[in-house]
Every structure is written in C-alpha cells, then in structure tokens.
Amino acid sequence: MKDFKKYYTISASPDEVYLALTTASTIHLWTGEVAEMSAVPGSEFSLWDGSIVGKNIEFETGKKIVQQWYFETQPAESIVTFKLHAVSQGTSVELKHVNIPDEDYVDIVDGWDNIYFASLVEFYEK
C-alpha cells in the first residue's frame, strides 16, 4: 500500500471548491458525467460513471472532506482527505490519499493529476 500527497491550486474560493467537490450537480458540470454525491457523513458516492466509488466520512464546510474509496483488488481502507486553504490565487487543495493498492498507484496518481484536478482547474479557468 502506498500514500500520495500533493497540493493543487484552483482559481476559486474555498467555499466554491467545497461545493464543486460535494454537490452532485456541480460535479456533473466539471466532470461531464452524472455523479452521486451528498455532503452527509456515511453516504455513498459515485463519480465518473462509477469509476470512483466510496463512502463519505467527514465534512467541514469550506475546509475539509474525508472519503473512503473502494478498490476491487483490496478490502483495506483507502482514505482521501481534501483540505482547502485560501491563497491569493484562490484555493490551495491539500490532497492526501493513503492506503492506495500498489498495483493501482500509478493509475491513481495519473488520475488525480490529469483527470480529476485537471478537470476542476479547467472548469474554474473558463
């Protein structure tokens, strides 16, 4: 199991980024895919037509989101934490993803950089 941590800067306020990560209709706007999401601890979510699925664990409005992501290959808890920090350019998102199955690590990191956050950054640059 591996861990990944990285900071991403998004040209929007922490409150806007929080809504973009926790509201199904806004997720649909920046992903182009139908999403199932609720900012309720214990609720399940699905993004990118089921490519990403899991359970929401914790929310701190405008500041923090904690999720458990499910992997077919590993029953272990893979935890994703987003911390949102206001910066002069908008928001610095501190992403920490722990317990990533070794065989999925390269694809997960590529997904964070080139799909998930690339789509979110592009959405706010329009």
Tens digits of residue pLDDT in 23-51: 999 999 999 999 999 999 999 999 988 88
**Which whole-number Å values give the CA distances from 29 to 19, 32, 77, 122, 124, in the listed order?**
12, 6, 29, 11, 11
**Separation between Cα atoms, residue 35 and residue 25, nearest integer Å:** 7
Question: Structural domain tally of the chain?
Answer: 1
pLDDT digits (tens, 9 = 90+) for 61-114: 999 999 999 977 666 689 999 999 999 999 999 999 999 989 889 999 999 999
**Cα–Cα–Cα angle for 26, 118, 24, rounded to 5 degrees:** 15
pLDDT score for 51: 87
pLDDT score at 74? 61
For the entire predicted model, the pTM comes to 0.93
Q: What is the DSSP letter of 73?
A: S
**Tokens describing residue 83:** 């911390």
What's residue 19's pLDDT? 96
Its domain, for residue 67, covers 2-125
Q: State the pLDDT at residue 71.
A: 77
Look at residue 44 in the predicted model and tell me its pLDDT. 95
For position 73, what pLDDT does the model report?
64
The answer to whether the CB of 55 falls within 8 A of the CB of 121 is no
pLDDT at 49: 86
**What is the C-alpha separation between 105 and 56, in angstroms, rounded?**
21
CATH code for the domain in which residue 46 is found: 3.30.530.20
Specify the pLDDT at position 75: 60
User: Comparing C-alpha atoms, which of 43, 80, 48 is closest to residue 64?
Assistant: 80
